[in-house]
Structure 1
Amino acid sequence: MPIRDRDGSNIWQRRTSRQQWLSWFGWLLLVSLFIFCWRLMNENTLWMFVQDAPRQVIDITDRMTPPRWSYMERLWKPLWDTLNIATLGTLLGITMAVPVAFLAARNTTPSDRYVRPVAILVIVSSRSINSLIWALLLVSILGPGLLAGIIAIALRSIGFIGKLLYEAIEEIDHSQVEAVLATGASGSQVLDYAIVPQIMPAFAGISVFRWDINIRESTVLGLVGAGGIGLELSHSLNTLAWPQVSLIFIVILGTVVVSEWISARVRHAII
């Protein structure tokens, strides 16, 4: 292990017996975990299917080409629905995430002991459940359709936006807050003139970035009945219409690329 000399050069010293044992014990745990995971994977894997996978890939690829371009006229509305799910879900998520973020930040929460833990719990709960699981639950409650997809995207977005935003709130320059307080400003005025202006660039960047992520996630929500282009993908897969599947893949890829470009340009313009 190296230590620094006065001139900044490294002086190497032999590890102590305790450090050596801890190092060996750590490697032993890592190897044991790898062996356990490998055995678990082997128990649940049918290797005859794995060996046949290259032939299946070639066969499906051959069936998927060429794409059925005439099917494109039926994809415009599902694609528009997907964009609506992502956009409306993001807006709804922002509406719910902003107050949660202010309640979670140490310098803006009304109670560090009671309110902040609840806000943190909301953020963690939102981030721990995937949007596909939210959609599956909401479809069983609200029925299939766009509403379930929008709410699923919103619930998933709360944790992402809330976490990044409350961290940005905690990292603001407190000298500006003190300067506004010195003028005798009220709490709402401090929020308007000292805190919000500092976090607006971060807030805009976080929101656009989350919208870009939601575009990708909303493309698969139709697999569980939440509407959008994923619903057409599910129908095409169920009927083994592989040329339609390849076209849907191309449309999804193009949509994600365009949304990524828009997101990058907007973030660059704001930040």
Structure 2
Amino acid sequence: MPIGSNAADNTWSKHTRRGEWMIWGGWFALAVVFVLSWQVMNERTIWAFVEDAPRQGADLLSRSWPPRWDYLGNLWQPLWDTLNMATLGTLLGTAMAVPLAFMAARNTSPSLLFLRPVALFIIVASRSINSLIWALLLVAIIGPGILAGIIAIALRSIGFVGKLLYESIEEIDETQVEAVRATGAGQLQLIDYAIVPQVLPAFVGMTIFRWDINIRESTILGLVGASGIGLQLQGSLNTLAWSQVSVIFAVILLTVIVAEWVSSKVRRAII
């Protein structure tokens, strides 16, 4: 009898009756959530502002044009700080993520009952908090500046790199591990000769990808006092210098495009 057939009339159907009811129940629940969410949004939205948004947007664009290109000279040092923040934060986060990933992977964890849950908790906690929130906390703790931005980027990167890396470790070919173990190799030698060569290309790719993401996130950390080009953006916004804001947006866009191009080229060359 085909899978999903009805035993009573012996006719084939795509889903069992219970499966069909579950699908329809899921769609009904989704519709209810959508209606409730729309009601909440409608109650808390001032539609007069929404109707006036096109006129306000056009007015803002008119103030932003033409861009004040002579302001570019004030952006090179903040842009350099932003790139340093992203790069150093990525390196620091990756350095902390590697041992956590090996502790979190089932096939390499020294302790499945204690160390693995601790490592998984740190990875999940890192991924659960946005880098902007980390920066807010760190600016309050250690004061404003590039150091707070670097640590914020690092703490956010731990979860990203750690999760992808430990999943890659768990998916390695175990036959290569057994072959190296058969030579009498110890645990560290197994990691060095059997595991690292298998995950190294993916590890380099995910690290570069994270660096690309961190450059985008670093551009806004200055809004909360973590230095970089975001600090210049905050200052221009506070003084309503829209012609400067348009220049900063152009620099950020160009930086992200170049970083994306570099990231794509390097990952393609390695992977």
On whether the aligned pair clears a TM of 0.5, the verdict is yes
Secondary structure of 1:261's counterpart equals: helix
Secondary structure of 1:240's counterpart equals: coil
Asked if the contact 2:237/2:245 (under 8 Å) is kept, the reply is yes
Task: Determine what percentage of the aligned residue pairs are the same residue.
Answer: 68
Equivalent position of 1:88 in the other structure: 88
**TM-score normalised per structure 2:** 0.94
Equivalent position of 1:126 in the other structure: 126
The residue type equivalent to 2:131 in the other structure is S
The residue type equivalent to 1:251 in the other structure is V
Equivalent position of 1:232 in the other structure: 232
Equivalent position of 1:8 in the other structure: none
In the superposition, relative to structure 1, how do residues 99 and 15 fare at CA in structure 2: closer, same or farther (>3 Å)? closer
Asked if the contact 2:4/2:15 (under 8 Å) is kept, the reply is no
The residue type equivalent to 2:42 in the other structure is N
Equivalent position of 1:59 in the other structure: 59
Asked if the contact 2:4/2:14 (under 8 Å) is kept, the reply is no
Residue pairs, 1:1-271, within 5 angstroms: 12-13=12-13, 18-271=18-271
Report the alpha carbon displacement of residue 3 of structure 1 after superposing the two structures with TM: 5.1
Cα displacement string for residues 219-238 of structure 1 (whole angstroms, at most 9, x for unaligned residues): 00000000100000000000
Distance 2:113 2:63 in 1: 60
Secondary structure of 2:208's counterpart equals: helix
What residue ranges of structure 1 are gaps of 5+ in the alignment? Answer: 6-10
Report the alpha carbon displacement of residue 113 of structure 1 after superposing the two structures with TM: 1.4
Secondary structure of 2:108's counterpart equals: coil
The residue type equivalent to 2:49 in the other structure is F
Distance 2:244 2:34 in 1: 40
Cα displacement string for residues 102-128 of structure 1 (whole angstroms, at most 9, x for unaligned residues): 000000001111111111100000000
**TM-score normalised per structure 1:** 0.94
The aligned length equals 265
What residue ranges of structure 2 are gaps of 5+ in the alignment? Answer: 6-10
Cα displacement string for residues 181-226 of structure 1 (whole angstroms, at most 9, x for unaligned residues): 1111111111111111111101100110000000000000000000
Asked if the contact 2:205/2:267 (under 8 Å) is kept, the reply is yes
Cα displacement string for residues 9-39 of structure 1 (whole angstroms, at most 9, x for unaligned residues): xx75386654444343323212111110001
Distance 2:111 2:55 in 1: 61
Secondary structure of 2:232's counterpart equals: helix
In the superposition, relative to structure 1, how do residues 117 and 62 fare at CA in structure 2: closer, same or farther (>3 Å)? same
Distance 1:131 1:252 in 2: 18
Distance 1:69 1:210 in 2: 31
Distance 2:83 2:17 in 1: 60
Asked if the contact 2:100/2:162 (under 8 Å) is kept, the reply is yes
Report the alpha carbon displacement of residue 43 of structure 1 after superposing the two structures with TM: 1.4
In the superposition, relative to structure 1, how do residues 136 and 175 fare at CA in structure 2: closer, same or farther (>3 Å)? same
In the superposition, relative to structure 1, how do residues 144 and 173 fare at CA in structure 2: closer, same or farther (>3 Å)? same
